[in-house]
C-alpha cells in the first residue's frame, strides 16, 4: 500500500466525518469530567481524542494545500470560506446581546453598569480566542486556521525552494509555541493568533509529507507509537494532549509524532471504511457539514442537557445530526450558503 492511496475523495470525506464526531464526543466527555466523572475510561478517551482531533485538521489542511498561490487571490478565497461565516455565526451567537443593547439604548438605559457590561461583552466578542467560552469556545479554530493558511501560503511563496529556511521558520514557530505554553501560559493574542505558532508546524508537516511521502516503515511506526501513547493515557495522566485553544501542545516532539500517527490512523481507518457504499453515503453529509457542526454542536449540547438528557449516545447523535440538518437546509438557500457555509454555488 502507498501512502498516496489514502489521498482520495471518499477517504478524506469519511475522515472528516470521523474527526468531527470526535470533536463532539470530546466536548461531551469534557462536560462529564467537569461534572465529576473521573473514571479511567472517560479521562482516557477524552485525552486520546484531544491528542489527535485538532492537530488532524491542521495537518489535513497542509496535506490538501496545493502549493503557493497568489497572495491576494488566496486571501480573498479563504476570507469568503472562513471569515464571512465566522462573522455570520458570531452575530447569530450575539443576537440576545444585540437585542438587549438596542432595547436598553432605545429606553435611554445605556448608562452605568449596563454600559460597562455591553462594552466588555462586545469587546470580548471582537477579541475572540480565549476571551470567549461556553457555546462559542470553538471560535478560536476558524480564525487560527485562516491565519495559519495565510502565513503558510506567504512562507511557501517566498521560500519553498529554500528547504533550510522553511525548516528554520518551522522550528522557530514550534519553539515559540512551547515558550508560550511553558513560560507565558496566560499570554493570548486576539483571535487566537498566538496559536498559529503551534498550528503552522502541523500545517507544514502535512504539506511536506504529502509532497515527499514517508517510508512505509515510518508510517506504521507512527501509527503504533500513537496507539501506544493512547493506551498509556488510559493508565497514566501524562500531559501529552493538545488543547490548542489554550496554547497547550503537550510534550515537545512526542506529542506531534503521536498526533501525526493519529492522523495516519484516521486516514487508514477511513480508507478501509470507504469500501462500503453505505458508510460513505452516511459519512458524506457529515464530512461536508463538519464546519457547521464545529460552530453549532456546543450550543446543541448545552440545550439538550437542559432537558436532563445526559446519555452520551443521544448527545452525540444530537450534536452531529442537528447541525448537519441545518447545514443541508442552508445549502439550499444561496445567500445563507454564502454567509454561513462559505460556499458560493456560482463560483
One-character DSSP codes across 188-257: --GGGGGGHHHHHHHHHHHHHHHHSPPPHHHHHHHHHHHHHHHHHHTT---S--EEGGGTEE-STTHHHH
pLDDT, mean over the chain: 95
Residue 21 lies in a domain: yes
Examine residue 174 and state whether it is found in any structural domain, yes or no. Answer: yes
Per-residue model confidence (pLDDT) at position 160: 87
In a domain, 345, yes or no: no
pLDDT digits (tens, 9 = 90+) for 42-64: 999 999 999 999 999 999 999 99
The 10 Å Cβ neighbour count of residue 238 is 14
Residues 6+ away with beta carbon under 8 Å from 132: 124, 125, 139
Q: What was the pLDDT predicted at 6?
A: 78
For residues 218-240, average pLDDT: 95
pTM: 0.96
249 in a structural domain = yes
For residue 345, the model assigns a pLDDT of 65
pLDDT band at 287 (very low <50, low <70, confident <90, very high): very high
Burial of 174 (0-12, 13-18, 19+ CB in 10 A): buried
3 pLDDT higher than 80: no
- How many structural domains compose the chain? 1
Task: Reply yes or no on whether the pLDDT at 270 is more than 80.
Answer: yes
Percent of the chain with pLDDT over 90: 89
Is 129 contained in some domain?
no
Contacts of 144 (CB under 8 A, 6+ apart): 191, 192, 193, 195, 196, 199, 244
- Burial class (CB within 10 angstroms; exposed 0-12, middle 13-18, buried 19+) of 42: middle
pLDDT at 109 over 90: no
| The pLDDT value given to residue 112 | 86
Is 100 part of any domain?
no
d(CA 149, CA 71): 11
Q: Name the residue range of residue 11's domain.
A: 3-92+134-340
Is residue 169 a part of any domain in this protein? yes
For the stretch 197-216, pLDDT in tens is: 999 999 999 999 999 989 99
Q: What percentage of the chain exceeds 70 in pLDDT?
A: 98
Give Cβ neighbours of residue 98 (< 8 Å, ≥ 6 apart). Answer: 91
- Cα–Cα distance measured from residue 76 to residue 54, given in angstroms and rounded to the nearest whole number: 25
Q: Residue 181, Cβ neighbours under 10 Å: how many?
A: 20
**How confident is residue 2, by pLDDT bands cut at 50, 70 and 90?**
low
pLDDT band at 127 (very low <50, low <70, confident <90, very high): very high
Please indicate, yes or no, if residue 150 is contained in any of the structural domains.
yes
> Is residue 124 very low, low, confident or very high in pLDDT (cuts 50, 70, 90)?
very high
What is the structure's pLDDT at 347? 59
Asked if pLDDT for residue 107 goes beyond 90, the answer is no
For 40, the grid coordinates are 479511567
Amino acid at each position: 500500500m502507498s501512502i498516496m492511496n489514502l489521498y482520495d475523495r471518499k477517504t478524506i470525506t469519511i475522515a472528516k466525518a470521523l474527526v468531527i464526531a470526535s470533536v463532539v464526543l470530546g466536548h461531551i466527555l469534557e462536560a462529564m469530567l467537569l461534572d465529576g466523572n473521573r473514571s479511567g475510561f472517560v479521562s482516557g478517551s477524552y485525552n486520546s481524542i484531544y491528542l489527535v482531533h485538532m492537530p488532524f485538521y491542521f495537518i489535513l489542511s497542509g496535506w490538501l494545500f496545493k502549493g503557493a498561490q497568489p497572495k491576494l487571490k488566496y486571501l480573498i478565497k479563504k476570507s469568503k470560506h472562513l471569515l464571512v461565516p465566522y462573522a455570520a455565526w458570531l452575530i447569530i451567537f450575539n443576537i440576545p446581546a444585540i437585542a438587549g443593547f438596542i432595547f436598553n439604548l432605545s429606553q435611554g438605559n445605556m448608562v452605568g453598569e449596563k454600559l460597562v457590561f455591553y462594552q466588555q461583552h462586545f469587546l470580548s466578542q471582537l477579541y475572540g480566542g480565549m476571551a470567549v467560552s461556553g457555546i462559542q469556545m470553538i471560535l478560536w479554530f476558524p480564525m487560527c486556521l485562516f491565519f495559519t493558511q495565510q502565513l503558510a501560503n506567504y512562507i511557501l511563496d517566498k521560500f519553498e525552494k529554500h528547504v533550510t529556511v522553511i525548516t528554520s521558520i518551522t522550528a522557530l514557530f514550534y519553539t515559540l509555541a512551547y515558550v508560550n505554553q511553558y513560560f507565558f501560559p496566560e499570554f493570548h493574542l486576539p483571535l487566537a493568533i498566538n496559536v498559529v505558532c503551534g498550528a503552522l508546524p502541523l500545517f507544514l508537516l502535512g504539506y511536506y509529507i504529502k509532497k515527499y511521502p514517508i517510508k512505509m516503515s515510518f508510517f506504521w511506526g507512527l501509527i503504533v507509537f500513537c496507539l501506544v501513547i493512547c493506551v498509556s493515557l488510559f493508565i497514566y495522566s501524562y500531559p501529552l494532549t493538545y488543547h490548542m485553544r489554550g496554547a497547550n501542545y503537550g510534550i515537545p516532539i512526542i506529542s506531534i509524532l503521536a498526533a501525526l500517527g493519529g492522523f495516519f490512523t484516521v486516514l487508514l481507518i477511513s480508507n478501509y471504511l470507504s469500501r462500503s457504499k453505505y458508510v460513505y453515503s452516511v459519512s458524506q453529509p457529515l464530512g461536508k457539514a463538519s464546519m457547521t457542526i464545529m460552530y453549532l454542536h456546543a450550543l446543541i449540547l448545552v440545550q439538550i442537557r437542559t432537558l436532563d438528557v445526559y446519555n452520551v449516545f443521544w448527545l452525540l447523535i444530537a450534536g452531529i445530526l442537528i447541525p448537519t440538518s441545518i447545514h443541508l437546509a442552508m445549502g439550499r438557500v444561496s445567500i445563507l450558503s454564502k454567509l454561513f457555509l462559505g460556499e458560493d454555488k456560482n463560483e
